Amino acid sequence: MRKIIIAIDGFSACGKSSTAKMVANKLGFNYIDSGAMYRAVTYYFIEHYINPSNPKEVEKALDKIDISFIFNEKLGFSETYLNGSNVEGHIRKMEVTQRVSEISALPVVRRRLVDQQRKLGKKRGIVMDGRDIGTNVFPDAELKIFMVADLTVRAGRRQKELLEKDQLVGLPEIKENLKKRDKIDSEREENPLRKAKDAYEIDSSYLTLEEQVEKVLQLATEKMIIHNE
Ligand code: CDP
Ligand code: CDP
């Protein structure tokens, strides 16, 4: 069957990456977490005290950043590497989460990462999740999903995840962060978070992850049949 591109966009903690990973595994596609790339850049900026409002400093820093994904056989999915080091344990921490939308709004950062994302998707047969995949990175993706969910449900999911990594963060702080990121991500000038006209909206508030994956798989199968004809 034809190898298609599946773009999954939407707000934080709607289940984009969990769904994308499971759909990719089921279809034998590659999964690419575009948010991890923005997080890796943010982590580098924090570690190297890069001033985001100094364009020269930002350009110089970007020249030194190499992001790659390496498949972990044991886990069954790819992990993010920054200049050769596995940074999965660092990039999901609150200190990165607090800064990532500000850094992601910089046009020069977006252009670099979007170029790399397009190269990664060249052979098709991929599932990529993020904020601008269906609208900007792959406007020709055969299947576009836009995920939404209730803010309180999303915050609860994120808190549970952080607790599993021994990070105790209060619900008000998580909610505040989600609201702030939603706002910056939706209002930035360069490639804001938007639902593509041809995207299918899924509200995951009252869906289990399995139900959500099933919905995307059904749509993907339909698209693969249509595009194979
Ligand atoms: O996992 P979560 O939904 O919290 O976020 P993520 O997918 O890891 O993305 C982190 C941040 O990166 C988002 O809040 C956006 O600011 C930025 N991002 C973006 O601007 N464009 C993308 N394609 C993906 C992420
Ligand atoms: O990528 P995104 O930020 O949209 O969300 P995620 O990281 O895939 O999901 C955040 C958390 O919500 C994960 O622990 C998922 O297992 C959980 N989740 C859930 O409990 N029910 C859903 N329908 C979707 C996600």
pTM of whole model > 0.90?
yes
Distance CA 64, CA 185 (A): 25
Residue 131 neighbours by CB distance under 10 Å: 27
Q: Which ligand is nearest to the CA of 216?
A: 2
Shortest-distance atom of ligand 1 to CA 36 = 8
The contacts of residue 29 (CB under 8 Å, 6+ apart) are 3, 6, 23, 125, 126, 127
Cα–Cα distance for residue pair 46/200, rounded to 1 Å: 36
Give per-residue pLDDT as tens, 34-81.
999 999 999 999 999 999 999 999 999 999 999 999 999 998 888 999
User: Which pLDDT does position 216 carry in this prediction?
Assistant: 98
Q: What are the domain boundaries of the chain? A: 5-221
Instruction: Establish whether residue 97 lines the binding site of ligand 2, counting it when its CB lies within 6 angstroms of any ligand atom.
Output: no
What is the per-residue pLDDT across 81-133, written as a single tens digit (0 to 9) for each?
999 999 999 999 989 999 999 999 999 999 999 999 999 998 889 999 999 99
CA–CA dist 145, 76 (Å, integer): 23
Residue with CA nearest ligand 2 atom 2: 13
Query: In testing the pocket of ligand 1, which one of 33, 34, 88, 126 has its CB within 8 Å of the most ligand atoms?
Result: 34
Range 5-221 has CATH code 3.40.50.300: yes
Ligand 1 centroid vs 228 CA: distance in angstroms? 32
Binding residues, as ranges, are: 10-18
Ligand 1 centroid to residue 225 C-alpha, Å: 31
ipTM of the complex: 0.98
